[in-house]
Amino acid sequence: MSDLTTLETEILAAIESADTEAALEDVRVAALGKKGSLSELMKTLGGMSPEERKTMGPALNGLKAKVTDALAARKEVLAEAALEARLASESVDVTLPLRSSPLETGRIHPVSQVIDELTAIFADMGFSIAEGPDIETDELNFTALNFPEGHPAREMHDTFFFNPKENGERLLLRTHTSPVQIRTMRNQEPPIRVIIPGRTYRCDSDQTHTPMFHQVEGLVIDKGAHFGNLKWVLEEFCKAFFEVDNIKMRFRPSFFPFTEPSMEVDVQCDRSGGEVKIGEGNDWLEILGCGMVHPNVIRNCGLDPDVYQGFAWGMGIDRIAMLKYGMADLRAFFDADVRWIQHYGFRPLDLPTLFGGMSS
């Protein structure tokens, strides 16, 4: 019995002096684990005489209960101490000044701003927005748009091609957003009024060209759509976008495979003051290309060109953003330099609207 008293003193002392939950677990295993001191003693009960077992049985069970209780009590004390320590070391200084909110530091990229402006202007004229994939087929990027096989106009686009597939088909990065217009004409019933802003790619890189750039194209397909409608749409757009009441425009004959007739469009500008002012002066600045949709293109989309006519136009978003906001170097658009966006970018909550003003 005195051995038991010693064992009890030892185990309870070890429990009291365990100062972490891990150390306490070691004490528990040493006493009550499979090979623990107390467990080993319990195993000897079977070999005892009945009298001996009568006294040792309750004594050992009592000791086991005592040890279990002491372990639980110590565990609670240690857990509370650990929590106290965490609270002390992880305290939050509520008097620190707030970090500035993303609404204060974040900026809208000028390309996104101009896309929002275009969207507001054309939505007001009843246009919807369409989008499509950057990776396209040769058929949608060229053939359906009336680029004949082997025609030099295909080469003029400096296309990024993917390696040919086993069946010989070559995918490419779209060189304009026109394939989305083909997709729209093939999937929607006229009348169609859409604009398509998006990323486009050509293998070209210098001060005024980046291999990835942005275009917006517009398309109207309807019975009796005519060049007068096209002129009105473009004039309304230019006045709203450049925020002037009147603007002179000049339509020069040009060539695109997908329109006939085709025009390049200049807007009136003044270059005398060192910067370009749109809507005043006696100079001209080219801003877009347009034309009546070629009958072959209408036919390639499953429509009858004797029933449906249409007009379309295309312009560079990056270029008109540079013009409107006086940004000199196109390459800086895609350098991801936070100082540039802090200088030229737009505040997140200043959304362009016809009511509030495009660039307010």
Binding residues for Mg(2+): 260
Taking the CA atoms of 111, 113, 119 and 125 in sequence, report the sign of the dihedral they define: negative
Cβ neighbours of residue 106 closer than 8 Å, sequence gap 6 or more: 348
Cβ-based nearer residue to ligand 2NL, 31 or 267? 267
Alpha carbon distance 125, 285 (integer Å): 25
| Least distance in angstroms from the C-beta of 192 to ligand 2NL | 10
| Three-class DSSP category at 259 | strand
Closest to ligand 2NL by CB, 31 vs 196, is 196
Cβ at position 190, least distance to ligand 2NL in Å: 13
Q: Are 268 and 278 in contact (CB under 8 A)?
A: yes
Q: Is 341 helix (H, G, I), strand (E, B) or coil?
A: helix
Which single residue brings its beta carbon nearest to ligand 2NL?
A: 314
Q: How far apart are CA 135 and CA 160, in angstroms?
A: 10
* Residues present in the chain in total: 360
Rank residues 159 and 178 by Cβ distance to ligand 2NL and give the closer one: 178
Residues lying near ligand 2NL in the complex (CB under 6 A) are found at 145, 178, 181-182, 215, 217, 219, 256, 258-259, 289-291, 293, 297, 312-316
Nearer to ligand 2NL (CB atom), residue 142 or residue 256: 256
Rounded Cα distance between 327 and 319, Å, is 9
Please enumerate in sequence order all residues whose Cβ is within 8 A of that of 51, keeping only pairs 6 or more positions apart, or say none. none
Q: How far apart are CB 94 and ligand 2NL at their closest, in Å?
A: 56
3-state secondary structure of 126: coil
> Nearest distance from residue 163's CB to ligand 2NL, in Å?
27
In sequence order, the 6+-apart residues with CB closer than 8 A to the CB of 298 are 185, 221, 304, 305, 308, 309, 310
Report which of 118, 137, 123 is spatially closest to residue 186, judged by C-alpha positions: 137
Measured from the CB atom, the residue of 39 and 254 that comes closer to ligand 2NL is 254
Give the shortest CB-200-to-ligand 2NL separation in angstroms.
9
Nearer to ligand 2NL, 75 or 209 (CB): 209
Return binding residues.
260
Taking the complex as a whole, the smallest distance from the CB of residue 257 to ligand 2NL amounts, in Å, to 9
Contact between 193 and 220 under an 8 Å Cβ cutoff? The reply is yes
